Structure 1
Amino acid sequence: MHERTQNIDDALTILAQLGLPRAQQNERSALCLLALLDLSPARKWKQAGNPLIGITPIMDWAKAHYASAYAPNTRETFRRQTMHQFVAAGIAFYNPDDPTRATNSPNAVYQIEPATLDLLRSFGGKGWKNQLQG
């Protein structure tokens, strides 16, 4: 399978296995997860990173690495229908570098939660199922 498609399919599997609602089990949410991990098509899950990244940079990243272009007016869809749920589920932090940052700040950022990062780095390996259940 092509690496681009594989990573998106893997991310969809992960979102389902993490128990995210059906509304977040879609390509947009998969791309957000991949962007939170800086997991471009050629990178493996064990190489996942944890950059601070905002909504527009997530959208730009998806276009650059996965040829998935979204219109600028879909930023709120990314924020409300994916990233808010990631934060609520505890898999991402909102403004971990400055929790006092205003909610409507253009500098707002997200980052993968550290335990989730460790878990996702094990995806595809022997420890995935044990860590997922643990």
Structure 2
Amino acid sequence: MDQLTYAKKVLSDIGMPKQQQSDLCALTLLALCDIKDHESFSDASNNWIRIHDIIQFVNTNYASSYAENSRETFRKQAMHHFRNAALIEDNGLATNSPNYRYRLTPEFLAVIKKMGKRGYNKAVKLFLSSHESLKSKYASKKAMPMLPVRINNKDYHLSPGSHNLLQKDILEKFAPRFAPNSECLYLGDTTQKDLVKDEKKMEELGFDITLHDKMPDVVLYRADKDWLYFIEAVDSVGPMSPERIIDIQRMTKQVECGKIFVTAFPDFKKYKRFSEQIAWETEVWIAEMPDHMIHLNGDKFLGPR
């Protein structure tokens, strides 16, 4: 058997659903093992790896042609199910972190290393005999305290992480000071992309909802001023750059409300790191100094005090 067939066999032998015995899932497994064509499974490893690296690996070593924008497909069809079955674990960082990675669990790696050799069936039986306890073990690693936050008079819980902590600060510290009585039209959690998404209201205001993947982290609407606040929460990537402004303007070209573009940072140190990337005619808010704003607006605020 070739390596792809072997990978499908082990996924079948441990009882993964048919959908998770596909070419994509088998290739994902080979990338996680770092096994190229004609290499021995006894040399498999469980080094930390990103989905980007998985795509590059299978395209380079197995003549695949997956595009970079197929990362979500890999995440939903393979990684999500592999993790639920205790085949893999993640490193506990926020999913939007550039350092977010996966690896095979040591228990499943032991099965992989026996592939095609004496003792394989015994290794599969051993894995299956402890499967439920393994699922509980690795699930407990993900069971971290959630971040409670009240949005539009409803209680929500954000997944843990520094990015979501900053989003919580935006709602609880920025909004009361600079967008009083506003409603949240959109908020993307690091694990649930569209945690809050008021499509009806956005369509009423003129949003092109088909471009929602260009949405910033938080969108607030202040009815008394007819203002929209587009806010990027920057922990590791993504300030309100000129490119982001163009994306948002394209998505809201039919919107007649006043538009305010804000980049939020947890502290001044992080702001300095990204300051050269931020577009003019936008605002900066820093959570550690919540009462103040930095206006990159030229002569709009020029004059005596």
**What is aligned with 1:19?**
15
Tell me how far 1:68 sits from its aligned partner. Answer: 0.7
1:114 is the counterpart of 2:106: yes
Equivalent position of 1:129 in the other structure: 121
Instruction: Give the Cα separation in 1 of the matches to 2:23 and 2:113.
Output: 20
Partner of 1:111: helix, strand, or coil? Answer: strand
1:61 match? 57
Q: Which runs of 5+ in 1 are unaligned?
A: none
1:51: Cα distance to partner?
Answer: 1.4
Instruction: Tell whether the 8 Å contact from 2:110 to 2:123 is kept in structure 1 after alignment.
Output: no
Query: Which residue identity does 1:129 align to in structure 2?
Result: N
Is 2:28 aligned against 1:32? Answer: yes
- AA at the equivalent of 2:105: E
Matched, 1:83 2:79: yes
Give the TM-score, by structure 2 length: 0.40
Structure 1 position 43, deviation (Å): 1.0
Query: Residue by residue, what CA displacement relative to the aligned partner does 1:96-122 show, whole Å, maximum 9, x if unpaired?
Result: xxx2x1122232111000011111101
What 5-or-longer segments of structure 2 have no aligned partner? Answer: 127-305
- The share of aligned pairs that are identical, in percent, is 37
Cα distance in 2, alignment partners of residues 82 and 126 from structure 1: 28
Task: Select 2:48's aligned residue among 39, 45, 52.
Answer: 52
1:86 is aligned with what amino acid? F
2:30 counterpart letter in structure 1: L
What amino acid maps onto 1:50 in structure 2? Answer: N
Structure with max Cα Rg: 2
Q: Please name the residue that 2:147 is paired with.
A: none
RMSD (CA atoms): 1.1
What does 1:99-110 correspond to in 2, within 5 Å?
99=92, 101-110=93-102
2:18 partner letter? R
Q: Counting strand residues as a fraction of each chain, which structure ranks higher?
A: 2
CA distance in 1, matches of 2:56, 2:113: 23
Q: TM-score, normalised by structure 1?
A: 0.90
Task: Looking at secondary structure, tell me which structure has more helix per residue.
Answer: 1
Q: Which amino acid aligns with 1:46?
A: S
| Shift, 1:52, TM fit | 0.8
Higher relative contact order (CA 8 A, sep 6+): 1
Q: Give how far 1:42 is off.
A: 2.7
Aligned length: 126
Give 1:24's aligned amino acid: Q
| SS, match of residue 56 in structure 2 | helix
1:23 CA displacement: 1.0
Structure 1 segments, 4+ long, off by >2 Å, are none
